[in-house]
Amino acid sequence: MFAAPARAQPEATLAPVLEQGPADAVAAQPVDPPRHPDSERSDPDTAERLRYVIDDVRITGNAKTRSRIISRFVPYAVGDILDVSDQNLELTRFRLLGTGYFRDVTLSLEKGSKRGHIILVVSVVERNTIVLNDLWMGLAASADTRGEERILGAFGGLDVAETNLLGSGISLGGATAFSKDQLALAARFLDPALGESPWMLSAELRYNDALGFFGNAAVRWEDPSQISEVPRQAVLRYRRLGSLLGVGRDLSVPTQFWLNYRLEVIHGSPPHAASHEYGGVREPIDFRLFPGRSRLAALQATIQHDTRDQPLLTNSGWLATLQAEVGLLPLGSNYDYQRVDASAARWWQLRDGHVLKLNAFAGLISGYAPFFEQYYVGDLSDFRPGRVLGLAFDDRPAPNFLDTSIAEIRTGDYAAKLGIEYRLAVFRGSRSIYGIDLFTSGGIWSLANARDFFRPPQDQPGVLRFPVDLTANIGVQMDTSLGGFSFSFANVLGFLPVRAQ
Outline where DSSP puts E strands in 163-291: 171-178, 183-191, 199-214, 220-222, 234-250, 255-269, 273-278, 281-284
Whole-number Å distance between alpha carbons of 227 and 212 = 11
- Whether 142 and 132 have beta carbons less than 8 Å apart is answered as no
Residue 142: φ, ψ to 5°: -135, 155
- Residue-by-residue DSSP string for 2-27: --PPP---HHHHHHHHHHH--TTSPP
Q: What is the pLDDT of residues 56-112, one digit of tens each?
A: 999 999 998 999 889 989 999 999 999 988 889 999 999 999 888 898 999 999 999
- CA torsion sign for 99, 102, 107, 113 is negative
Distances in Å between the Cα of 36 and the Cα atoms of 31, 39, 49, 205 are 15, 6, 17, 53
Question: What is the per-residue pLDDT for 420?
Answer: 98
Residue 133 has pLDDT above 60, yes or no: yes
**Nearest-10 crossing angle of helices 87-98, 10-20:** 130
Residue 5 vs residue 63, higher pLDDT:
63
**Nearest C-alpha neighbor of 464 from the set 414, 405, 409, 401:** 405
Give mean pLDDT, residues 410-426: 96
Residue 417 CA to chain centroid, in angstroms? 15
**Amino acid making up residue 343:** S
- DSSP three-state, residue 463: helix
Instruction: Count Cβ neighbours within 10 Å for each residue of 96-127 and write b for 16 or more, e otherwise.
Output: bbbbbbbbbbbbbbbbbeeebbbbbbbbbebb
- DSSP three-state, residue 377: helix
Per the confidence metrics, is the pTM higher than 0.75? yes
Q: Which of 132-146, 423-437, 465-479 has the lowest mean pLDDT?
A: 132-146
**Nearest C-alpha neighbor of 423 from the set 334, 470, 486, 471:** 486
Question: What is the per-residue pLDDT for 405?
Answer: 86
Residue 349 has pLDDT above 60, yes or no: yes
Instruction: Count Cβ neighbours within 10 Å for each residue of 45-80 and write b for 16 or more, e otherwise.
Output: eeeeebbbbbbebebebbeebbeebbbbbbbbeeee
Q: Which of 3-7, 134-138, 318-322 has the lowest mean pLDDT?
A: 3-7
- Residue-by-residue DSSP string for 12-70: HHHHHHHHH--TTSPPS-PPPPPPPTT-----HHHHTS-EEEEEEEEEES-SSS-HHHH
Question: What is the per-residue pLDDT for 150?
Answer: 60
- Whether 337 and 365 have beta carbons less than 8 Å apart is answered as yes
Give 162's pLDDT tier (boundaries 50, 70, 90): very high
Question: What is the per-residue pLDDT for 465?
Answer: 76
Question: What is the per-residue pLDDT for 237?
Answer: 92
Residue 451: φ, ψ to 5°: -65, -25
Question: What is the per-residue pLDDT for 485?
Answer: 83
Residue 423 has pLDDT above 50, yes or no: yes
How high is the mean pLDDT of the chain? 83
- Whether 235 and 226 have beta carbons less than 8 Å apart is answered as yes
- Give the highest mean pLDDT range of 23-27, 331-335, 437-441, 461-465: 437-441
Residue 426 has pLDDT above 80, yes or no: yes
